[in-house]
Amino acid sequence: MIRYFTRWRTRRILARHPIAEPAWRYALAYCAPARRLPAAEQARLRVLATLLLHDKALEPVQGLALDDGMRALLAAHACLPILHLGLGWYRGWHALVVYPGLFAPERDYVDQAGVVHHTRAVLEGEAWERGPVILSWEAVMQSGSPAGHNVVIHEMAHKLDMLSGTANGFPPLHACMDRPAWSQAFADAWHRLERARRAGHPVLMDPYGLENPGEFFAVASEMFFEQPAALLELSPDLYRQLTLFYRQQPIPA
């Protein structure tokens, strides 16, 4: 009965709140990873994007107005990581807050000496544990530039990571996956990139990923969807683990 109700609800949402064809064409025009998908997977992505737009509130701030094409584009980016996982992997939060440009939240923290520090970091995206995803529309439109960059996928990867607690680079793995193999692949890629950076060599992955394991998983996820061939060349083991996690078909080696 529950499964029947779920299918009925899905059909009802798709019938009542479809993404119009012009809006979907806009989304594909500005989302290269979605544009590269086969037709059947584009259709699957469109269904997920429709359901996400019904399930999550899109909340523009500071005078930003989101038209149908912009909403479809955000949803397309956001649903790429769950294309073969399902919308249930985005459970526990309800909103995407969208600024027109970069934003700078004010934060206070107390150091080990008990001194309170006031910070104001400029951000293009942020994911709150048990809270919203916050994005810069300017950064959304810069997806793919520089190569491999995608702020929406980055923040959605954090949300997946947080399903197992804090964002520590260890999201809930599927039963078919091996935890030591995951850890080894990420550790090996991390140390290889860290050695390259220290030696002054070009680093193919955004070095921001070396901030901590959570950022490394998010940056690797960006690259997995934006530049899969480059990630495969950089670290076949890391690429394989992300293929298993995101349940994607591997590209030819």
DSSP annotation of 211 reads G
Question: Within a domain: residue 189?
Answer: yes
In sequence order, which ranges of the chain are alpha helices (DSSP H)? 2-16, 21-30, 32-35, 39-55, 68-79, 137-141, 151-161, 179-198, 213-226, 228-234, 236-246
Question: Within a domain: residue 248?
Answer: yes
**Would strands 106-110 and 125-127 be described as parallel, antiparallel, or unpaired?**
unpaired
What gap in Å lies between CA 156 and CA 154, rounded to an integer? 6
Per-residue pLDDT tens digits of the chain, which is 253 residues long? 446 546 767 778 877 888 999 999 999 999 999 999 999 999 999 999 999 999 999 999 999 999 999 999 999 999 999 999 999 999 999 999 999 998 887 655 555 665 555 566 788 999 999 899 999 999 999 999 888 999 999 999 999 999 999 999 999 999 999 999 999 999 999 999 999 999 888 888 899 999 999 999 999 999 999 999 999 999 999 999 999 999 998 886 5
Contact 200, 247 (CB under 8 A): no
Burial 122-155 (b: 16+ CB within 10 A, else e): eebbbbeeeebbbbbbebbeebbeeebbbbbbbb
Q: Which secondary structure element, helix H or strand E, spans residue 97, and what is its range?
A: strand 95-99
> How many domains does the chain divide into?
1
Question: Within a domain: residue 252?
Answer: yes
Question: Within a domain: residue 96?
Answer: no
Question: Within a domain: residue 247?
Answer: yes
Contact 50, 10 (CB under 8 A): no
- Dihedrals φ, ψ of 222, to 5°? -55, -50
Q: What is the CATH number of the domain that holds 196?
A: 3.40.390.10
The domain of 205 spans 168-253
Question: Within a domain: residue 235?
Answer: yes
Among residues 113, 125, 181, the alpha carbon closest in space to that of 153 is found at 125
Question: Within a domain: residue 251?
Answer: yes
DSSP β-bridge partners for residue 98: 60, 135
Question: Within a domain: residue 45?
Answer: no
